[in-house]
Chains A and B, each alone.
Chain A
Amino acid sequence: MTVNAAPFVEITAVSKRFAAVEALSGVSLTVDRGEVVCLIGPSGSGKSTLLRSINGLEPIDSGKVIFDGIDVHGRGADIRKIRQRMGMVFQSFELFPHMTALANVMVGPEKVLRLPVAEAKSRADLLLAKVGLSDKADAHPAQLSGGQQQRVAIARALAMQPAVMLFDEPTSALDPETIGEVLNVMKRLADEGMTMIVVTHEMSFARRVADRIAVFDRGRIIEVGPPSQIFDHPTVQRTKEFLSHLGWDAAPIVHSE
């Protein structure tokens, strides 16, 4: 089997315990190049923990995460090199508040990739334009709305030219009226062929954009499949319950663009 035929991200039997709580119990999942996989499920079911374990922010107790042939949690893994190829977007944005929007996007290319300042800046300019915030380049995060901050955060992650983007509930901290602008940026990324793993509660986004959806419940993945299966013909009772809990089958929520 050639490297390209293997899954781009291969998660095998990952377990993680926090004191008395089994956050992940033997979770396995594969993500192919260019695929968009959404992780859904109740709060505390392990989605975010799994996402953080993919780029090594969360140590795991057992199991394996293989990214492009590299064992992320392996002893010899150069975790910094791995992270440079995985962009991450956080629920609470985590922009650096002492830097302007432009500086936030530049800091990775300039300080981590050691690009010349001019090159880092032109890359950052392009990305701010891509997320529609060229006019906010000199603004500090505190001067931006939540949606704008999250778009800058996406640009910051993209500035490293990652091979995978990890999104950890990117719209959960946003006002309803700014959720759409962030989801649009994410949808465009998906359309461009970016490999994406997205923890989300936005079911309409998951349905429209995901290639596959993994449903979490109490530290396990209980069902994986394309959106049509998960939303229209779930095979697991807990999936049905979770979705109906969100009011999905009663009144589908559609976000206007």
Chain B
Amino acid sequence: MTFDWSVIIDNWPRLLHGAGNTILLAVCTMALALPGGLLLAALRMTPWAPIRGFATAFVEFFRTTPVILQVYWVFYVLPVMTDIRLSAFGTGLAALTLNVSAFNSETFRAGLNSIRLGQRNAGLSLGMSDWQVLRLVILPQAVPRVLPALASTWVSLFKDTSLVSVIAIDELSYVGLQLRSQTFRVLEVLTAMAVLYWIMGYPQAKLVDWIHRRIKVAE
């Protein structure tokens, strides 16, 4: 068995381009899924039961079905049902954003609910508005508590971006799998992909560990 790494060296720009798209997709998804999650969390806490029910059903659907199915669904079914036609990248972004928003909303909800009612009452009894209570009392306590969970979601998201390769978005997995079928250098290509994912993912995982430690110390 001999390894021929020239295939990796020759196609290095393509792999780098793929890795860049992986990062771009993850960053864009999280940038949309943070406000998306907040919105869903807010909808789930409104006094209006139908809105609450809709938001709950939405969240539960995206939390309990496979991401890859969601990607396929947005790619094949959504255009037929709604006439919305997205680019491949847009489709992947939409599917991942819906999924991560659902997870983020649960994180936000747990964070907000973890601040006991007495804190809110204390703020209100000083004459604060609901908005002031949220901004001055609840969020400063809730945000540090949800950071570790958000960071874990981020690491999962980063790896889950590989799933959108099934709809031909040229992120790292798609580029790698293409390269594999074009060159038949299966071992080299898969190894290079693994190394690239690891190089990108390891610092993130360490960062998450650090955040977890920091929050624990602060509490």
Question: B-contacting residues of A (Cβ < 8 Å)?
Answer: 52, 55, 57, 80-81, 83-84, 86-88, 90, 92, 94-98, 107-108, 111-112, 156-157, 160
Whether B118 pairs with A83 at a CB distance below 8 angstroms is no
Question: Does B39 interact with chain A (Cβ within 8 Å)?
Answer: no
Q: What are the residues of chain A within 8 A of B123 when measuring CB–CB?
A: 96
User: Taking CB as reference atom, which chain A residue is nearest B125?
Assistant: A88
* Bound CA span A75–B125, Å: 19
- C-alpha gap A84/B124 in the complex (Å): 9
Q: For residue A83, which residues in chain B have a CB less than 8 angstroms away from its CB?
A: 124-127
Chain A binder among B61-69, B100-108, B135-143, B193-201: B135-143
The answer to the question of B119 belonging to the interface, with a C-beta cut-off of 8 Å to chain A, is yes
Chain B proximity of A43: nearest CB distance (Å) = 17
Most buried by A among B123, B125, B132, B136: B125
What distance in Å separates the Cβ of B205 from its nearest Cβ neighbour in chain A?
Answer: 28
Contacts A94-B121, A94-B122, A96-B122 given; does A80 touch B127 at CB 8 Å: yes
Interface size bracket, B side:
10 to 19
Quick one: closest B residue to A85, CB to CB?
B127
* B134: chain A residues within 8 A (beta carbon): none
Contacts of A157 in B (CB 8 A): 125-126
Interface residues of B in 155-196 (CB under 8 A from A): none
Which residues of chain B have C-beta atoms less than 8 A from A111's C-beta?
128, 132, 136
What is the CB-to-nearest-CB distance from B146 to chain A, in angstroms, rounded to a whole number? 14
**Min C-beta distance of B114 to chain A, whole Å:** 12
How far, in whole Å, are A96 and B118 apart by their CA atoms in the complex?
10
Residues in chain B near residue A55, CB distance under 8 A: 125
The 10 A-B pairs of least Cβ separation, nearest first, read: A84-B127, A94-B122, A88-B125, A108-B126, A83-B127, A94-B118, A112-B127, A98-B140, A80-B127, A57-B121
Tell me, yes or no, whether B129 is within 8 Å of chain A by CB.
yes
Q: Is the CB of B136 within 8 A of A108?
A: no
Could you list some 28 contacts between A and B, CB below 8 A?
A55-B125, A57-B121, A80-B127, A80-B129, A81-B127, A83-B124, A83-B126, A83-B127, A84-B126, A88-B121, A88-B125, A90-B121, A94-B118, A94-B119, A95-B122, A96-B123, A96-B136, A96-B137, A98-B140, A98-B141, A107-B126, A108-B126, A111-B128, A111-B132, A112-B126, A112-B132, A156-B126, A157-B126
Minimum distance in angstroms from B99 CB to a CB of chain A? 32
Closest CB of chain B to A215's CB: distance in Å? 25
Residue of A nearest to B126 (CB): A108
> At the interface, is chain A mostly helix, strand, loop or mixed?
mixed
Instruction: Name the B residues within 8 Å of A80 (CB-CB).
Output: 127-129
**Residues A97 and B127 in contact, CB atoms below 8 Å apart:** no
Q: Which residues of B contact A112 (CB under 8 A)?
A: 126-128, 132
CB-defined contacts of B136 to chain A, threshold 8 Å? 96, 107, 111
Known: A94-B118, A95-B122, A96-B123. 19 other contacts (CB 8 A): A52-B121, A55-B125, A57-B121, A57-B124, A80-B128, A80-B129, A83-B127, A88-B121, A88-B125, A90-B118, A94-B119, A96-B122, A96-B141, A97-B141, A98-B140, A111-B132, A112-B126, A112-B127, A157-B126
The residue on A at minimum CB distance from B141 is A98
Assembly CA distance A80 to B128 (angstroms): 7
Q: List chain A residues, Cβ under 8 A from B137.
A: 96
Residues of chain A within 8 A of B126, CB atoms compared? 83-84, 107-108, 112, 156-157, 160
Q: Which residue of B lies closest to A107 (CB)?
A: B136
**Complex alpha-carbon distance, A80 and B119, angstroms:** 16
